[in-house]
A = this chain, B = another copy of it.
Amino acid sequence: MAQRKAKEKVTIIEIAAAAGVSKSTVSLVLKGSDAVHPETRDRVNAAIRELGYVYNRGAANLRQARSNIVGMIINDLTNPFFAELAVGIERSFQSAGYVPFIANTAENPVRQAEVIKLMREQGVAGLIVSPARGTPSDALDGLQAAGVPVVLAMRRLPGARISSVVPDNRRGARLAVERLVELGHRRIAFLGGYADSVVRGERLEGFGAALADAGLDPERALNIATAPTRDGGAAALESALTHREPPTAALCFNDIVAFGVCLALRRRGLQPGPDFGVIGFDDVQEAVHADPPLTTIAVDSMGLGERAAQMVLKMIEAGRPIVEEHVGAVHLVIRESCGGPARQGMEKRTRERRA
């Protein structure tokens, strides 16, 4: 019995006794109230140090009926793009005095449901979720109905009335197409990504709109859906090139797909850039080191994470749900994979924030 824990747990009662005050006073000191005499405060703090007191947040939260823990649920933590989102979120919450907990769903909606339940049982004050693929649009309804602030990050849930923070996918795709058109391309394909992905839908929309604005027919543009992987990208390119009117350039669903496209291109002896224009999406860390360095649409995932956290914080403060959609700015980072001169300046601007 005594060996279970090295020490008995010390509570505010012991602290109160040691400092010669009441529990209430200790509690006030703990929360930094200035209604306590400085000398008393020092005495209490000394006792806390001496006895090795550890604050019990569970007990505090129970009484307070509000917790300082917030959660974030991420679809794929091994993907640096989402890991950065998580880090941005974490940072904002931490500096606001909240305790952020991260959970990973590995793109599994079932696991996601479990994690949501757990977070709720843990009494989170708010939640940010980057939903797993295939998340039903009512997955967060229970939480919302219970008054827990929720915001969606990176991926919207069609049909759900939930705040979201997503990059401007349409505009990003448009910027890419405009660049390609500027370089003289007329047959531009959209390559890779699952057909049912909401994000892909948005990117495809921007793609089509930009094509139309350039006087090109979106209907005739090749649109090939595949897994959002390197292999998927390679397969998409192969398929595109067998077309009777093969494209001369492509906007890829994301950078990973673009890497696959470049790979397949080189396998065929074609050089990404001069021989076939390739533009990615996301500007993952690898993009700048790829061969050739990838032209892509930069999405500031860490910044979006911070924004999402701020939205949750705002709702917690307001004490009521606020539904708002934040669409984050994106910009074209010109490197070498789309042909034309690489402009070092733009690339620097994006990368420096990492340091």
In the complex, what distance in Å separates the CA atom of A146 from the CA atom of B90?
27
Of A51-59, A167-175, A176-184, A189-197, the stretch lying at the interface with chain B is: A51-59
Inter-subunit contact A84/B78 (CB<8 Å): yes
Q: Does A7 contact B (CB under 8 A)?
A: yes
Residues of B within 8 A of A219 (CB): none
Q: Does A246 contact B (CB under 8 A)?
A: no
In the complex, what distance in Å separates the CA atom of A62 from the CA atom of B11?
12
**Are A6 and B58 CB-contacts (below 8 A) given A86-B104, A104-B87, A122-B99?**
no
A67-83 interface (Cβ within 8 A of B)? 67, 69, 77-80, 83
Indicate the size class of the contact surface on chain A: 35 or more
In the complex, what distance in Å separates the CA atom of A52 from the CA atom of B84?
35
Q: Does A220 contact B (CB under 8 A)?
A: no
Copies of this chain, complex-wide, total 2
Residues of B within 8 A of A5 (CB): 146-147
Residues of B within 8 A of A94 (CB): 111, 114
Q: Does A34 contact B (CB under 8 A)?
A: no
The 8 Å CB contact of A259, one of B52, B86, B123, B289, is B289
In the complex, what distance in Å separates the CA atom of A78 from the CA atom of B83?
5
Residues of B within 8 A of A55 (CB): 121
| Chain B residue nearest to A114 in the complex (CB) | B94
In the complex, what distance in Å separates the CA atom of A319 from the CA atom of B2?
11
Annotate A252-296 by CB proximity to B: 1 below 8 A, 0 otherwise: 000000010001000000000000000000000110010100000
- Taking the closest CB of chain B, its distance from the CB of A322, in whole angstroms, is 13
- In the complex, besides A69-B122, A99-B118, A102-B102, 10 extra interface pairs with C-beta distance below 8 angstroms are A56-B121, A57-B123, A58-B58, A58-B123, A77-B77, A77-B86, A100-B103, A102-B104, A230-B289, A286-B286
Can you pick out 10 interface pairs between chain A and chain B where the beta carbons lie within 8 Å of each other?
A3-B320, A4-B147, A56-B121, A57-B122, A58-B61, A58-B62, A59-B62, A78-B285, A259-B289, A263-B289
